[in-house]
Structure formats: structure tokens, C-alpha cells
Chain A
């Protein structure tokens, strides 16, 4: 295993004239769960999307296992090693849950139908919706849909999982079931980058916290350290607000 797994070097991203990411350099090691937090518009999701090049950044580079994304000849093959979970699930509504999960293993990774389905059933078991395989996404609750989406990402047998505000579109009682799945993943040693506002999850599960503002990384600390004594004023203010300290 190459370490660091992800190496970000002088990364900048613009949307038209707006600079969303401002010269970011950082890296992520295998087996760690890192939470990225910060106010909305601070560039958290943009940073996440640069790591599998869903955003085409203009400056700098991202290295995944030492492979430059900028010079990557086959970006699809690289992406098939990185699972991504979206805020609004983005399951394919015209396919059953099983087909949602087996699509990429079969067509991007070249698995046989039988192998892909066996894997899918194992994963559905793991996210606790084994009985929903034949159903369509619209027949599932939000929490179940997001767990199915996690299973779809895990079906890539990824080396890295990216979570882009995975619980922001969910009702409170469904958030717990999704966070539980994510916690178990982290415990099993999955490398995870999680953009979230769930500070309880961050505190209990993550190894490190990155705090972003204005397209920059303001702070990066071990989780315990971040919560006990964040240095920057902005991180302090953000924490006070989100933990509802009045």
C-alpha cells in the first residue's frame, strides 16, 4: 500500500471567477477516518470532488497511490477504486437496488453477474437491508436508500470512501442508522473522508478533523485535540455555533 494514499499538492479550483479552493496541500493515510467540516461554501465538497476528479481543478495536482490525477490516462479505472456517497443518495431510480449495486462491478470492473450479485448480497447484509434487494429506490426510506448507496460504493471494493454530507438530507431518526454503518466501516479500517456537520459522529468515530473556511484548510488536528483546544478563532466560533453553545 502506497502511503500517503492521497496526496494533494497546491490544489486550486475556480468556478468561473470564484476561487473555491485556494492552494491546498495536504495528504491522507490509509486506514484513517478524517472528517472535513466548516461553514457552507468553504470548499469542503469541492475538495472531496477533486479527489476523484469529478471537479476538474485548474491548478496543482492530486496523487492517488502516487498516480497523478492530472496526468491520469484512464480516470474511470482510477475512480473505480474510490467509493463516493452523495447527499441525495443518487441511486439510479430505474433499476432495482441489486442492479444499482452490481452495475459498476460488472461494467467497470469486469466481474461476472454471479460474482457481482454475490458481493451485492453480502454488502446489503452488511448495511442491514438484505431484504430490499429486489425493490426500487423509491420504495425505500431515505435512510435505507443511503445505506443502499453506501453498499453501491462498497461494491467497488474501494481503497478510499468519500462521503459528501451523507446525512444532510435525512430525517433525524434515519441519520443514526446511516452513521452506524459508517462507524462500523471506520472500525473495520476503511479509509474514509467525510464531509459532515455531525459533530457527534466526528468526535466518536474520526481520527482527525480538518476545518475549512474560504477555500483553505484552517486547521487539521487529531480529533481529541481539535475538540479540546481548537486554535483558530474561526474554528472556535464554528464549534460553538454547531454545538449550540450560547
Chain B
């Protein structure tokens, strides 16, 4: 084993890791508010809102991420009429795909709060939207925090899929270095270690929050 290969290529690898972190963070930042809207649509009493939301969520959840990424990679340029770049198309694919999963987490979070709280808010003359924003979502957010963090970990792991369109995220960067250095054992061990540290930290945080919730 020759670990110097990692030290020597660390700047390139870290650039890849930064790309992964950036991608995951941006995906969560865009997917979450989108998912909040779709989740509210999902529990709406109006059919013309509820049905499209349900169709969207089920369509996304019944497809592999890699297909969604490919699909947007080829579709977005068709719509915009010009290439939008690897990063943008992967971003859009990820945001759309993961917003479906976030939607289901948020929906169950909202439903854990209960209809009576909605009625209480409405009865005081707040609009449905105000009731959701000020009364239901804050409570739902607290209830669903562990599940949300777990999903963020999955998003981070999911960023590896971006390699299919040639984006240089962390795993792809590792792969490129192995091609040059022919040191796959050391490099993939290192990559596994980095993924473990990041993801384990995330899931530990989720577990802590869950414990605290049981107590209150």
C-alpha cells in the first residue's frame, strides 16, 4: 500500500469533494421549499391540486435516479435550445427527484401535527396559507427533523450518480486519479472512509434528534 498517492493528489480530490458537498447542499436548498409546496398540495382537499402532486411524487419515486438525471440531461437542452452544462442539468434532475422524497417526509410530518391544529388556526381568521406557515410547518419540521437529515445523507450519497454525465464530484475524481496512478485500493479505501465520516456524522445527528424528541 502506498498512501502517498492520496497526499499527492489531495487538491484534486478535495476539489471533487467540494463539488459533491456543493451539489448536495444546493439540491437540499432548492428541493426542500419545492417539496413544502408539493406536500401542501398533496394533502389539499382540492382534487386538481392533489392529483397532480400525487402523480409527480409517484412518478419520481418509481424511477431510478440515474434515469431522471439522464432524462433531464437530454431534455433541458431541448427545451432551452442550448446546452446548459453538466452541473445545471444534474442539479435540476436531482432537485426534481429528491423533492419527491422530501415531499413524502414533509407530508407525514404535517399529518403528524393533526387536523385540529389547522382548524384552530383557521377558526381565528388566519388564511390556510398562514396557518400552514406559522402553525403547522414549524411543528411538522420539528417532528420530521431526523427523517430530513437522513434524507440529506442519502442526497449526499446520491451525488455520486452525477459521474454519469461526467461531472467531477468526489467519486468521479477518485476514479480519474486511479486511471492515472493505478492505485485503486488506496484511493477507493480513502473515498469510502470520507463517505463514511460524512454520512455517519449525519445519521448520528439524526439519531440524537430522535432521542431528544422522545424525551419531550
Residues on A facing B (Cβ under 8 Å) = 49, 52, 54, 76-84, 86, 88, 90-94, 103-104, 107-109, 152-153, 156
Check A108 against B116 for contact (C-beta < 8 Å): no
Check B126 against A108 for contact (C-beta < 8 Å): yes
Check B135 against A107 for contact (C-beta < 8 Å): no
Check B127 against A103 for contact (C-beta < 8 Å): no
Check A80 against B120 for contact (C-beta < 8 Å): no
Residues on B facing A (Cβ under 8 Å) = 116-117, 119-127, 130, 134-135, 138-139, 142
User: Given A93-B139, A107-B130, A107-B134, are A86 and B120 neighbors across the interface (CB < 8 Å)?
Assistant: yes
Alpha-carbon distance between A60 and B137 when the two chains are bound, in angstroms: 34
User: Given A90-B117, A107-B134, are A54 and B123 neighbors across the interface (CB < 8 Å)?
Assistant: yes
Hey, which chain A residues are within 8 Å of B138, CB to CB?
94
Hey, which chain A residues are within 8 Å of B135, CB to CB?
92, 103
Check A80 against B125 for contact (C-beta < 8 Å): yes
* Cross-interface CB contact of B125 among A91, A93, A108, cutoff 8 Å: A108
Check A156 against B116 for contact (C-beta < 8 Å): no
User: Given A94-B142, A103-B134, are A80 and B116 neighbors across the interface (CB < 8 Å)?
Assistant: no
Q: Whose C-beta in chain B lies nearest to the C-beta of A87? A: B116
Hey, which chain A residues are within 8 Å of B119, CB to CB?
49, 54, 86, 90
Check B139 against A104 for contact (C-beta < 8 Å): no
16 pairs, CB–CB < 8 Å, chain A vs chain B: A76-B122, A76-B125, A76-B127, A79-B125, A84-B120, A84-B123, A86-B120, A88-B116, A93-B139, A94-B138, A107-B130, A108-B126, A108-B130, A153-B123, A156-B124, A156-B125
